[in-house]
Structure 1
């Protein structure tokens, strides 16, 4: 009887073993429809792309170097005294395409090589087909990917500021520009306008004139509330209360101490680097908020509160300003672009299509650089 029972047990085990592959295959086959049923129920990401961790790590190391290499601390207390040197302007170009207007900028720079430096952040995915001209050759900094509606444009501008701080302690002003920007005055006029700011006040500690930054800082603008909650309700609190949240052009000219302030900042950056909600993509313009908000909170009296780059928003499309075309280019247009409601003339203008280069070159000596 025991032998019979033992044989039955062995037969059952062999049956289970022989049927196991079949059962496994059957179970897997029956699971496939369940996968398609469950997949739609897995929620997609609710936010737009953020900044990769590796990019953030690289940037922090760069910003530490810039802070240590700088001649001024974030609040004007020097890490070491600036050596006697002629102040320079650092021209910082953010681009994702060819620097089409480089020939016009070369005419602008010509003869003033001791008074400026050029730095370019070119998106690694961009295809730059035109060979760099003299002033742009070898001036490209290590760059990371950028895209609209993300804090990557803030990071790119901060990298440019850090690179310029490290490169030359004589850099006194830092002008952020795009490949679509052009100068609308001569270099001599531009340089004198920046350094002769009558509103600059002497420092209480050193007695030296504290140069101001030319950055647009606006409050009470339509849609500002939606921009504030673009990352979610109360996400910006407590570091950035709504009554301190500002908007302004992403193109500006910073004084050196403010450039240092930007690369030193960690407190506000941890809020502005957060990605926006996908549902708020039409209100997500971090690069238009971070810089004016930071300076409004840290040194409002040290800013003119207006930009020196003229932009025409009268017929904007998809968040882009009016793009000037060759038929619009004329001497009167240049003079109109200079006109400002502030105490200063505009010094730069955007946005110009690449085929505007030739008509602009024709006006260079007779109008643009003739002040």
Structure 2
């Protein structure tokens, strides 16, 4: 019988079994630990400082999500020239100054014409019975006009030669404004051509203009050759291409805007020097770009971006369609007065259409109060139709 001693084995008696392996100590999964820590830190930061840019921000918080550009350092602001600083100070103060209320507010009707006005008799009928509510100013650039209406007699201002497409057209507009501003009762200023006619009664037009909160200056961006293609880099730094605009010259503007137009010399001087037919091989038309660009820079929210004067450019020529006797009908005039959406088409090959509703103090209304371009021979037909189509 074996004793306990016999059962003890010495170290040398231990046998190594075949196939047994020596296992190294297990390595710690450090990469997993690092990944977990990174995710934890990320989640904590996302919770404390929720991302506010891309669509991923909504995983954590849908509030206050902003563009990725908000997380980048702000772009350095362009340093303004001394002239710009002075101009901005003047414009800002004029726009912030409360307008002195007139006891007898009037509309200044400013006619830009080469000579006599073929539709004076129609305007005479339009003005009758509303004396004291309007003023008339006539700029005749070629021949002294012969007037047939008492409202136009002695209403001629000093005129100068006007050449289509050149800065002289803008000069004539500013000359009319300067004369009309001398009457403190003039609160609205309407620029009209010799081929313009009214589409509504005087009372309707008076209320439409006098109680609006904007000026009706046509303004839109045209990326085509007859828009931004006319821009010159020599207008820098004051006028950048992103602010270069186009629009019809026929406007209606409130007194404050008329004053800042007369106060401007900085932007006007740029157009005088660098916007003219043939300059740098382009055909820049100053009267189509100066006011739209000026207001885009100084008070873009203060204009309606459309003109209250209708014109038909459907023929796609250098000049708009001219209405002749055979074109005039009650239906034509009612169709014009029913338009309540402003439409512009770019001059490039894409012919991009821009349209927006004509909002009058937030209410969609007809866009146009006047229309052009009517041939002088249409006068008698328009006189016959006036009492019908002009009803508001």
TM score, norm. by length of structure 2: 0.67
Give, in angstroms, the shift of residue 150 of structure 1.
Answer: 0.6
2:175 is aligned to: 159
2:81 matched to which residue of 1? none
Q: Structure 1 pair 153/73, CA: closer, same or farther in 2 (3 Å)?
A: farther
Aligned: 1:225 with 2:213 = no
- Specify which structure has the higher proportion of helix: 1
CA apart distance, 1:316:
4.2
Query: How far apart are the structure 1 equivalents of 2:301 and 2:310?
Result: 23
Give yes or no for contact 2:228–2:245 (8 Å, CA) kept in 1. no
Distance 2:313 2:93 in 1: 37
Does the alignment pair 1:87 with 2:102?
A: no
Q: CA offsets, 1:39-70, max 9 Å, x none?
A: xxxxxxxxxxxxxxxxxxxxxxxxxxxxxxxx
Partner of 2:193: 178
Cα RMSD (Å) of the superposition?
2.0
User: Aligned ranges for residues 259-274 of structure 1 at < 5 Å?
Assistant: 259-274=258-273
Q: Which runs of 4+ in 1 moved over 4 A?
A: 279-282
1:73 Cα deviation after fit? 6.1
Aligned partner of 1:15 in structure 2 is: none
Shift of 1:239: 1.1
Distance 1:214 1:262 in 2: 14
Whether the 8 Å CA contact 2:165–2:277 is kept in 1: the answer is: no
TM-superposed deviation, 1:309: 0.5
How far apart are residue 261 of structure 1 and its match? 0.5
Between Structure 1 and Structure 2, how many residues are aligned? 277
2:385 counterpart (347, 354, 363): 363
Query: Contact (CA 8 Å) 1:74, 1:264: kept in 2 or not?
Result: no
Q: Which has the larger radius of gyration?
A: 2
State the partner residue of 2:121.
103
Check whether the contact 2:123–2:197 (CA below 8 A) recurs between aligned residues. Answer: yes
Cα drift, residue 250 of structure 1: 0.3
**How big is the shift at 1:85?**
1.3
> Relative contact order (C-alpha < 8 Å, sep 6+): which is higher?
1
Q: Whole-Å Cα distance in 2 between the matches of residues 352 and 287 of structure 1?
A: 21
- Choose which of 147, 155, 166 in structure 2 pairs with 1:131: 147
Find the aligned partners of 2:179 and 2:105 in 1 and give their Cα distance: 17
Gaps of 5+ in 1: 1-71, 201-211
Q: Structure 1 residue 100: deviation in Å?
A: 0.3
Cα deviation, residue 279, structure 1: 5.9
In structure 1, C-alpha distance between the alignment counterparts of 2:286 and 2:222, rounded to whole Å: 17
Does 1:191 find its partner at 2:206? yes
Instruction: Give the aligned partner of residue 309 of structure 1.
Output: 309
Distance in 2 between residues matched to 1:280 and 1:352, nearest whole Å: 34
Q: For 1:262-301, what aligned pairs fall within 5 Å after superposition? A: 262-274=261-273, 276=276, 278=278, 283-301=283-301
Distance 1:118 1:97, change over 3 A: same
- Structure 1 84/195 Cα, relative in aligned 2: closer, same or farther at 3 Å? closer
Q: Is the 8 A contact 1:73 1:261 kept in 2?
A: no
Q: Equivalent residue for 2:361? A: none
Q: Does 1:328 align with 2:327?
A: yes
SS of 2:216's equivalent? coil
Q: Counterpart of 1:140?
A: 156
User: In the alignment, what sits opposite 1:214?
Assistant: 216
Whether contact under 8 Å (1:103, 1:133) holds in the other structure is yes
Q: CA deviation at 1:97?
A: 2.9
TM-score by length of 1: 0.71
Shift of 1:304: 1.1
Instruction: Name the SS of the counterpart of 1:248 in structure 2.
Output: coil
Query: The residue matched to 1:145 in structure 2 has which SS?
Result: coil
Structure 2 gaps, min length 5: 1-91, 342-357, 359-363
Matched, 1:353 2:375: yes
- Give yes or no for contact 1:183–1:349 (8 Å, CA) kept in 2: yes
Query: Aligned in 2, Cα 1:266/1:332: closer, same or farther, shift over 3 Å?
Result: same
Residues 1:266 and 1:179: Cα distance change in structure 2 (over 3 Å): same
